[in-house]
Each structure stands twice: as structure tokens, then as C-alpha cells.
Amino acid sequence: MINQTEQEEREYLETIKEKLMLALRRIDLSVKQFSEELRQNKQYIYEHQSGMDDADMVAAGQSINRMAFTGESAVAQKRKLLKLSQSPYFGRMDFESDVTSEKTPVYIGMYSFSDDRTNLIYDWRAPISSMFYDYELGEASYQTRVEKISGIIHLKRQYRIREGRMEFMIENEVNIQDDILQKELSKSSDDKLKNIVATIQRDQNAVIRNETASVMIIQGVAGSGKTSIALHRVAFLLYRYRESIAAQDILILSPNKVFADYISNVLPELGEENIPEMGMEELAAEVMENKFAFQTFFQQVSALLEHNDESFIARIQYKSTFAFLSALNQYMIYLENNYFEPTEIRVAGVVVPHPFILERFKSYHRIPLLKRFNEVVKDVQQYVRSAIQRKLSGQDKTKIWEAVSNLGKRSTPFDLYRNFFHWIGKKEMFKMSETGELEYADVFPLIYCMIRLEGVKVYDHVKHLMVDEMQDYTPVQYAVLSRLFKCKKTILGDMTQTVNPYSASSAESMEQLFPQADSVKLFRSYRSTVEITAFAQRIIPNPDLVPLERHGSVPAVQGFASNGEEIEAIKKLIVSYKNSGYHSLGIICKTTDQAQYIQHEIQMPEINLLTAESTSFKEGIVLTTVHLSKGLEFDDVIIPFASNRNYNTDVDKRMLYIAVTRAMHQLSLTYAKEKSRFIPTA
């Protein structure tokens, strides 16, 4: 058996690096060769194009395209080899299959690498690599596309290799991943979410490699790695189905641009292209073709935090229920049966009887209601044309069009949606702003009506949809997503992290919305120390949460007599952070106004203010709101203005919980006068 000792492993690493360097040199030569051939071909066409016929030009163009494609593939392969040369592999297992009875070392890395048809490194997504995550020493098996291979794992090791140097090697007969986890999680964070291929746990691996689920729901506690797992799942699907699905065929619905930037590093690290992403507001504007101005979700939450408007809350609450969606569906049935009121039509001396018109209208039941009129017009024209045995005049056609149109109520989906609230006797539930904007709670119900009544373009090109922060979407929003995206879906979130509890979905409602879904619950939290996790648990308890046993300092809660004293204390905490060796500090406020106030008072140029308009996440000191911090994590977190006046409602309680759970290693809360009733006592 090869490479038994650590010294032998280090020597083997050098051998692998040499083979990688040889492969890189070969790639460089081929890229240079392709570039030269491409240049020569283009030169030849330029010099001889006058004497070339169309067939020659097409053939020459195709040849150039093939060369360019081959060159691009070589460049992509070079990128992978360069990454492997920095860190060729992170794990090894010695597997003896029942078929061969030979102990074969299987080294696992980010990508596969072979030499003379010998697999030296296996891609972490390869079927055989699944055993590394799923089994300890002893009996094990993996599934290929055609059969199940069983055998015995005799040895497991993990390594940390950086810049081509082995920092450590761990060998353990129990669970080696926890040791690696402790080392990885004790590190400082930076400006991007990282891949977790070296530390994927068994329950996470089952989610990542699930190929059969039409809908995969990942419900995970704060810090459970939901987003990382979902992105690794996307990377696995791109690897597994590379013949039929590409990066551009997948779409991420993300909560905001900052979060989209924060996660943008993961897929490229895993050797995949970045995949398209958009926010729910972008999707809404696109579907509605920018015909309506509307409040954003961020503005809705801000309004809830700044004004305790009971009628506003009531409107949001009602429109986030199943009862509301059910009422909308009943209204659609009512319109189906009552919107079209046929009477006979007289044109060019011909009487078109109303039973014929009604029968034709109902025959188009698969076409959205408001689109059927065009089809009925065509049928009536044909009826009249057959009766008079001649072509119709322009005047006849106009008369038929007007007559058929008058059989409906000449309404738009917006008119009918607004009328819906009169129909159910709740006209107070619809209110537009003084500037003519729709409330956010009305945006997707209106889109739902547009889909049912007019039809909209569906996103057939999307083959997999990933939806993050599932708890912030309502049944109507999911009804819209189901109609716009017919593809498979990965949906993830945490019901305790709702920024608007009045419109949140529960785990039970998700099961009701997607009864066919495979649901997974992740209870282990990896982000925060035991002390920070315990603090968060006393704000919103989750008896199922299991923290990773990683200790740190107890969260600090500091009270002051005035806002001025509190600001001075925050300045000192920032100085302390600068001397700590940590890479990221999050100063997380409840509202944008509070964040801007701190920026004005502290006036440190190195502070990055994140707002709803921000598009990127930067390392260092980040000042932002709770809403925008969702999904992010920081080494150190300061939560200012944690007073009872500022954090007092149920919405505030959830905001405080989200802010606390952003902290990995260090947490401080400051307040003036009376601390929030939600802050745990020592």
C-alpha cells in the first residue's frame, strides 16, 4: 500500500505537483499552437476571400469556430490545473472493492486529474467520491450510472494543502471531518462565501447528490450552510448532467444584489461558470413588462419597522394566507362562468346564434380568459363568411370585432384584480400609495391574475431554479413561481429568520405548497461559537438546533446613559476589531436611517455602507441593516441601539435574532438607557 507515512505523503504530493506542471506545459503549447493556427486561417481568408465561393467561406468559418472553441476549452482546463497545483486534493481513502479485492488509494480534490489513463485525483462529485462523505472505515458502497459497487474502506485521511504545501494531515478512525471543521471554522472570514468540499457532512452530501427530487426543500437553522449546500448541489447537477444542462440553464432567485455578489465565488471555485441570478422584484418587473410601479420588499419591511400601521399589517397578513390564494382561485372560476355574456350577433344579414358563440368560447378553456376573444372573433368571421359565400369587408370585420369584445367587460387584469376585493367584500384590503405605487403585497397576486387571465411568457429555458430565503415568500408567490418555472427546484431557508413575520411561510405551508417535495431539515449550526449560539437561542429558542462544539468569548452587552456615549463605545469596539486579526466586522442596524446616522457620527473612511442599492460585498468593516445582512456572516458583529425602544415588537425580535446569528467569533450589543426586553440576562 502506497504512502503510509506522512513523509511519504509529502513526497507523493511533490510527484503530483510535477505531473500537474507537465500537464500545464502541454496545455500552454497547445494553446499557443491553436492561437497560431487561428491567426494563419484568418490571414488566409483575408488574403483569398475574393477567390472563395460561399461554400469555402462557410467551411473556413466553421474551422475557425472549432479552433476557437478548442482553444477556450484548453484555457478552461488550464485554469483548473492551476487551481489543482495550489491544492491538488483534500482527502484520501483506500478502497478495496468486492470485484477486484485490491486496495486502491483514491485521492479526492476539486477536479479530476489523470496521467497516462490513470486516475490520480477524483473530482469530489464523482460517484466513487461519495463514499468519502458517507462512510467511515469499514463496509461501504457507491452507485455508478449502471451498477452498485461495494467493498471496504481501509483508510481515510484529510489534508490541508495551500500554495502547494501540506499544512497538515489528519488520520482518524472515527470522524476525521470534525477535526478539519474545527480548523476551518476557527479561521477568519473574508469577502466571499467559500466552497465546503473538504468538510461536507453526510446529511449535507445526501442533499447535494439527490438526483430524483423534482422539488428539494432545505430547511436549515442559522449557520447550517444551507446556501453553500444548495450551490454545491447545483455544481453536482452541472457535473452529473453536463450533456444536457449548462450554467446558463439555471437561475438563482436571491434576496438582493449584495448577497448575490457574496455567493458569486462558490461556483467558479468549484470549476463551474457563475449562473444567472435575479431578485423577486426584478422578476416581477420583467413579467409585468415594467407597466406598474411598486413598493419593494425592502421598502415594505422598512415601513413595518418605522410605522406600526395596523391596516397595513392587516393587508400584508391577509395576502400571505392560503385563504387569500383560495379566494383568488374561486374568483377565477367566477370570471370563467360570468365574465363572458354571449348574445346573438347580426352581421351582413347573418344572425350568429349565442349558443354557437358560447360553445366556441368554452372550447378555448385552455387559453387564458382575456385571450379567447381573438379566437372567437375568427370563428364568428368564418361562420358569417360561410353563410354569405364571400369575403368579409373591412367594415364587417370591424363590426364582428366590436360585437365580440362587447360580450366581455373590456377589463384589464389590473381592473379585475382591483374588483376582486369588492367581490369578496373586502375593498379596504386594496390600497395604492399616493404616488400610484402598488403595495408589495399586491405585486404577485396581480401577476397571478395576469397569468390566469392573459398569460405571460414562461421561463422554459430555465432547467433548474434555486430559491433562497424561502420563508419570505407567500403562497401566491409560490403559485406564480410554479407557473413561470416548470423545472426542478431547490428551495431553502430558515423559518426563524423571517424579516417580515406577517408574510412568512412556515415549514408546514411549504409541505402543503409542494407535497411532492423531498424535504430535509438541517439542525447542526457551524457558523457561531457555542456562546453566541446559546445567546441567540435565548432570543428565539430552537430545541432542535445542535451547535458545533467551538468555544469563544461570551457576547458583550453594554449599556450607556446617552447615544453620544454609545457612539464613543462603538468607536472603541471598531478599534478593538482592527487589532484583533479578524478580517470582517459587521455593524448591523435595524434601519437604514440608523446605519446612516452611525456613518455620519463615526466618519471612518474604511467603513463600507451597504444599502438596498449596493451591488457588491467587500471585506473589512461593513455597516448595514439586518434585512441586508441575511445570509452573510462576519468574524465580529456589533449591534448598536439594542434598546427596548428600538427592539420591542415581534418583528424587532426576529430582526435581533438575525443580527446576532451573523456573528462567527465575537458579538457585542450596545444600547442607551434601557436594553431591549429580548436581550438575555446574564
If pLDDT is split at 50, 70 and 90, which confidence band does 171 have?
Answer: confident
For residue 12, how many other CB atoms are within 10 A of its CB? 18
Give the three cell numbers for residue 230.
444548495
For 219, residues 6+ apart whose C-beta sits below 8 A from its C-beta are 492, 493, 494, 495, 507, 510, 519, 520, 521, 522
What does the pLDDT average to over 553-579?
94
Question: What is the structure's pLDDT at 174?
Answer: 42
Question: What is the structure's pLDDT at 182?
Answer: 53
If pLDDT is split at 50, 70 and 90, which confidence band does 438 have?
Answer: very high
% of residues, the chain, pLDDT over 70: 90
For 20, residues 6+ apart whose C-beta sits below 8 A from its C-beta are 81, 84, 85, 88, 113
Bridging pattern class, strands 165-171 and 148-162: antiparallel
User: Measured between alpha carbons, how far is 587 from 333 in angstroms, rounded to an integer?
Assistant: 51
What does the pLDDT average to over 293-316?
90
If pLDDT is split at 50, 70 and 90, which confidence band does 176 have?
Answer: very low
What value does the mean pLDDT of the chain take? 87
Would you say residue 349 has pLDDT above 90?
Answer: no
Bridging pattern class, strands 250-253 and 464-467: parallel
User: Measured between alpha carbons, how far is 270 from 392 in angstroms, rounded to an integer?
Assistant: 64
Would you say residue 6 has pLDDT above 50?
Answer: yes
Instruction: Spell out where 235-381 has E strands.
Output: 250-253, 277-278, 345-347, 350-352
Question: What is the structure's pLDDT at 388?
Answer: 87
User: Measured between alpha carbons, how far is 531 from 510 in angstroms, rounded to an integer?
Assistant: 32
If pLDDT is split at 50, 70 and 90, which confidence band does 185 have?
Answer: very low
